[in-house]
Amino acid sequence: MCGRYASTRKRHELLQEFEVELDTGEEIGPDYNVAPTKQVYAVMSRVPKEEGREEGAERPVRQLRVVRWGLVPSWAKDPSIGSRMINARVETVAEKPAFRRAFASRRCLLPADGFYEWMKAPEGAKPAKQPYFIHPEDGGVMAMAGLYEFWKDPSRPDDDPLKWLCTCTVITTDAEDGVGHIHERMPMMIERERWAEWLDPRVNDASRLLVPALAGRLEAYPVSTAVNNVRNNGPDLLEPLKDDGDRAVLF
């Protein structure tokens, strides 16, 4: 699974990196410990709504938006279900009721510097699970495959700006060999040459775009257990853990 990641690039960097055409102006600060239900950046392509436009007259426009991590299906009774929908397995994403409609036309890219996973330590070792930070070896931005959905709050009036909630989920796949010893799952990455098709809501069958990416190009190193607490946030969380000589930090 993917339950924590780091996303520290500034908005203007992401606008350039993902060749965003429509800047919504929404901005959030760098986050070194992104956890479920937090606000995150998502790159998506949507047709801008304008009065008087004929259906099909405009193409989707790539934009950068701020959404909440934890997908809330449109049919959900309340948004609390989102905390259990932070990941969608690539093997079932096209069939599961919670994800299939979004997979058909509401796909997004979730920018990340890297993600955290916890490796089970040998019996008797402390900590029982050692956190690792996994990131592209070249320091580039990861484009995690995601889905987004809109949920309408029936308790709010139509003119309430909080009437609509936009949420997302991260698609996961089998971990590539280089990091599979840490955890068996990892986020699905979308290679740059597939971004346009993945984001295009007119592409109905995106299954062919879900192919392994970044094989052999990921680096992993142990980090402090401070990342375990979602209240901790800062660049120090990405610092490699130093072996104090009392225990092996690489299992």
Write the pLDDT tens digit of every residue in 162-175.
Answer: 889 999 999 999 99
Could you give all domains of the chain from N- to C-terminal order, each with its CATH number? 5-46+60-115+139-216 (3.90.1680.10)
- Assign 166 to helix, strand or coil: strand
- Assign 167 to helix, strand or coil: strand
Write the pLDDT tens digit of every residue in 99-156.
Answer: 999 999 999 999 999 999 999 888 777 888 999 999 999 999 999 999 999 999 888 8
Residue 2 is among the residues annotated as catalytic for this protein: yes
What's residue 35's pLDDT?
Answer: 97
Across the range 79-102, mean pLDDT stands at: 95
Q: How far apart are CA 46 and CA 183, in angstroms?
A: 34
Residue 117 is among the residues annotated as catalytic for this protein: yes
- Assign 149 to helix, strand or coil: strand
Question: At which residue do the structure tokens 């299939």 appear?
Answer: 100
Question: At which residue do the structure tokens 């990091």 appear?
Answer: 179
Q: How far apart are CA 191 and CA 194, in angstroms?
A: 6
What's residue 246's pLDDT?
Answer: 42
Higher pLDDT among residues 178 and 19, named by residue:
19
Confidence of residue 182 (pLDDT cuts 50, 70, 90): very high
Residue 24 has pLDDT above 60, yes or no: yes
Question: At which residue do the structure tokens 């062919």 appear?
Answer: 208
What's residue 214's pLDDT?
Answer: 60
Least confident range of 52-56, 96-100, 125-129: 52-56
What's residue 150's pLDDT?
Answer: 96
For residues 165 and 68, is the Cβ–Cβ distance under 8 A?
yes
Tell me which amino acid residue 241 is.
Answer: L
DSSP state of 229: S
Residue of 2, 108, 166, 168 marked catalytic? 2
Q: How far apart are CA 165 and CA 95, in angstroms?
A: 23
| Nearest C-alpha neighbor of 82 from the set 48, 138, 35, 36 | 36
Ordered DSSP codes for 172-197:
EEEPPTTTTTT-SEEEPB--GGGHHH
Q: How far apart are CA 203 and CA 30, in angstroms?
A: 32
Residue of 27, 91, 117, 239 marked catalytic? 117
For residues 223 and 238, is the Cβ–Cβ distance under 8 A?
yes
- Computed over every residue of the chain, the mean pLDDT equals 90
Across the range 16-29, mean pLDDT stands at: 93
Write the pLDDT tens digit of every residue in 191-209.
Answer: 999 999 999 999 988 999 9
Question: At which residue do the structure tokens 């992104």 appear?
Answer: 34
Percent of the chain clearing pLDDT 90 (strictly above): 74
Q: How far apart are CA 43 and CA 195, in angstroms?
A: 10
What's residue 57's pLDDT?
Answer: 54
- Both ends of the chain: CA-CA distance in Å? 20
The HSE-up count of residue 60 (CA atoms within 13 Å, CB side) is 19
Across the range 166-194, mean pLDDT stands at: 92
